[in-house]
Amino acid sequence: MEEKHKKILQRNRTNLVRDLDPSKLCDGLLEKGVFTQDMIDEIKSSGTRRDQARQLVRDLETRGSRAFPLFLQCLQETGQHSLAEILQNGAPTAQLQPATPTQPVRPVVQPLPVSSPMDVDKQSKDAVPVYPLQRPSTTPTPSPEKENIRTRAQGRTRRDSIQSKLSNRKGSNIDCDKLERRFQALNFIVEVKTNLKQRQIKHELSALSKKDHSQYDCCVVIMLSHGTDVRHNRFPGAVYGVDGQHVPVQNITNYLNGQHCPSLQGKPKLFFIQACGGGEKDTGFEVSPDEVEPSIGGADDQTDAIPMSSSSDSLSMSDEPDARVTLPTPSDILVSYSTFPGYVSWRDTQSGSWYVETMDRVLEENAATEDLVRMLMMVNQEVSQNSAKGLYKQMPGSFNFLRKLLYFQTQK
């Protein structure tokens, strides 16, 4: 998009967030080639109408030179004339009419990656919920010190290509096996998905949100992957697909919130994120010997860190949310992180990650008598005693929006 058109969108961000109706625009923007279906799905899963408006304008700024006039045309076609007039007054040269047949001008659209049929997971035909658990790639890749992600300096990460070198997460298969057995023992129906690309992660979550969960009491999603820090207005952090493109944690939770997954309304939705929250390494602070019981990690401890990335966001986050007449959208959601936002998460190549190993043991020993929040505090306490290479620390934590105490069913 031309810089002058970006500035027009930025100057009118308050009006756009307040008045724009993205649901009316999606079909038109898709038909005109301004957005891809993947981008439309991301907009729809962004949260409230205002959140969707923010995401739509963010994406619009990353598109080609005809994105702005085509956006104005869609506004006119959907009856949003006042917004179109406001934007057009600031852009007198914008063309609302499509290009003439004799000189066709195609919108600049970055294509999705071309994948073989083997890359696309088939949906099961039954009504059993899918609970993704991420296993590591088996392809040898450079050590964490040589990882790099090349992204665009501004705007959306390229969808057509990205150079990434994600290290093999040795020990992650151990985590996955432990969690599969543990949640089966807690009477969950478990399905494992491995080595998913960003697009496939979002596809699986979208499919999960569309299933009928009326016969179930709870839904759990566990992500085992590399991670990073991203700009956010709800839940921090993001997890990577094997293609080096990330999915923000707040987008992951949005798929199953009360607005987008009606059959899980009022039911606990638990998210466990075993991934780095950033690249900082915590050396801790000195306390008296009585405060801790030192536990030294293994010599092969590794991190799941990826360099920090961000997305452009020129829209104000301070405007008031839409009025709600139901339960709050994020109600009954708990997100448990293996580490504090911004910091690395440690993983032993032989026994798995500190977080998963500890959580598995705590659940085994206490699930019959303790509620989830208390058990997560036990996990926090135990992991905080560990030290990687005799120096580095890790502090798990959670964002708890549950409305009641949650006890697992331990008997068949």
Q: Are strands 386-387 and 295-296 parallel, antiparallel or unpaired?
A: parallel
Instruction: Give the C-alpha distances (Å, rounded to integers) separating 240 from 165, 303, 307.
Output: 11, 14, 12
Q: Which residues contact 313 (CB under 8 A, 6 or more apart)?
A: 54, 58, 231
Per-residue buried b or exposed e for 173-184, using 16+ beta carbons within 10 Å of the residue's own CB: ebbbebbbebbe
Distance CA 407, CA 238 (A): 28
Q: Which of 203, 226, 232, 246 is catalytic?
A: 226
**Residue 378 and residue 375: Cα distance in Å, rounded?**
5
Q: Which of 131, 113, 278 is CA-nearest to residue 197?
A: 113
Q: Is 226 one of the annotated active-site residues of the chain? A: yes
Q: Are 147 and 306 in contact (CB under 8 A)?
A: yes
The C-alpha torsion from 136 through 139 and 143 to 144, rounded to 10°, is -40
The tokens describing 100, both together, are 């003439």
| Contact between 131 and 222 (Cβ < 8 Å) | yes
User: Which three-class secondary structure state does DSSP give residue 56?
Assistant: helix
Q: Contact 259/47 with Cβ under 8 angstroms?
A: yes
Q: Which residues contact 259 (CB under 8 A, 6 or more apart)?
A: 47, 48, 329
Of 350, 321, 319, 340, whose CA–CA distance to 383 is shortest? 340
CA distances, 194 to each of 84, 119, 256 (Å): 45, 11, 20
Query: What is the C-alpha separation between 268 and 257, in angstroms, rounded?
Result: 10
Can you tell me the distance from the alpha carbon of 220 to that of 70, in angstroms, rounded to the nearest whole number? 41
Tokens of 189: 């129906």
What is the C-alpha to C-alpha distance for residues 275 and 221, in angstroms, rounded to an integer? 14
Residues designated as active site: 226, 276
